[in-house]
A = this chain, B = another copy of it.
Amino acid sequence: MKIFRKLRLHELLYNKKDKRLAAAIKLMVGSKPLNLSLFKLAVRHSSAAEEIKHGVKASNERLEFLGDAVLGAVVAEHLFIKFPYRDEGFLTETRSRIVNRESLNRVGQKIGLSNIVESDLSGKGLYSHKSIYGDTLEALVGAVYLDRGYIFCRHFILTKILSPYFDLDNIITTVTNFKSKIIEWSQRENKEVEFFLKSVTGTQRFKEFTIELKIEDEIFTEGTGSTKKKAEQEAAKNACEKLKLAL
């Protein structure tokens, strides 16, 4: 098997479509796939799933489950080593800024997954495939892990995903807890700061919260976000800027 792989004899069996996929994977991952079928599966969105057995459909969802876990572990280790003096709350928050649907979706698009994803999204609402590239990116990580093992996969994640597409310094700045900054300030200055939920708009799945920050009962800033917490952070950040607090 090893010699077969070394000589890349399996590539002789590739059809045109396979060759195209293998070339695309090489660009993204840094080397050609050993087991192309893993990557064929990784780029197959559930909307284009094939029934392989009675009631069992083959799509990238299982690989996504695996890739999500491997990605979580690799990013955890990276942050653990990079920030030896930060507590687990900081590590958890920083990781969730990296590994979340929005950012993975963005990266998935940037590395060109839109060119190779197989999907059938006709007749589906916009939201049902909003995270298709992020999901596929996770599935790709799962495929790389199974194809090449942990060490290779870790290297792939760190050099091809994390380092080019995430500005850690920037992420860390925003992990700064603006809410606690403004509360510290209020205690120092002896002012009363309060957060009020002004409105919630959007659909069930994609809500937008608007928070008002009041200082001494007067509206000082506002913030919006997809969660109450994010909206509060945004409002607090705006207040910090307005008050010219050093961050």
Scan A175-219; emit 1 where CB is below 8 A from any B CB, else 0. 000000000000000000000000000000000000000000000
Q: Which A residues fall within an 8 A CB radius of B? A: 53, 56, 61-62, 64-66, 68-70, 72-73, 75-77, 80, 85, 87-88, 91-92, 142, 145, 150-151, 154
B72 contacts A88, C-beta separation under 8 Å: no
- A80 touches which one: B66, B76, B150 (CB < 8 A)? B66
B76 contacts A88, C-beta separation under 8 Å: no
CB-based nearest B residue for A81: B146
Once the chains are docked, how many angstroms separate the CA of A150 from the CA of B62?
22
B87 contacts A77, C-beta separation under 8 Å: no
Once the chains are docked, how many angstroms separate the CA of A64 from the CA of B91?
11
Once the chains are docked, how many angstroms separate the CA of A73 from the CA of B62?
13
CB-based nearest B residue for A61: B88
Asked, given contacts A53-B85, A56-B85, A85-B56, whether A66 binds B62 with beta carbons under 8 Å apart, the answer is no
B85 contacts A65, C-beta separation under 8 Å: no
A69 contacts B72, C-beta separation under 8 Å: yes
Please name all residues of chain B whose beta carbon is closer than 8 Å to the beta carbon of A75 when the two chains form the complex. Answer: 69
- A65 touches which one: B68, B80, B151 (CB < 8 A)? B80
A92 contacts B73, C-beta separation under 8 Å: no
Please name all residues of chain B whose beta carbon is closer than 8 Å to the beta carbon of A69 when the two chains form the complex. Answer: 69, 72-73, 75-77
Contacts A69-B72, A72-B73 known; list 14 others, CB within 8 Å.
A53-B85, A62-B87, A62-B88, A65-B80, A65-B91, A66-B76, A66-B77, A66-B80, A69-B69, A69-B73, A69-B75, A69-B77, A73-B73, A150-B151
CB-based nearest B residue for A70: B73
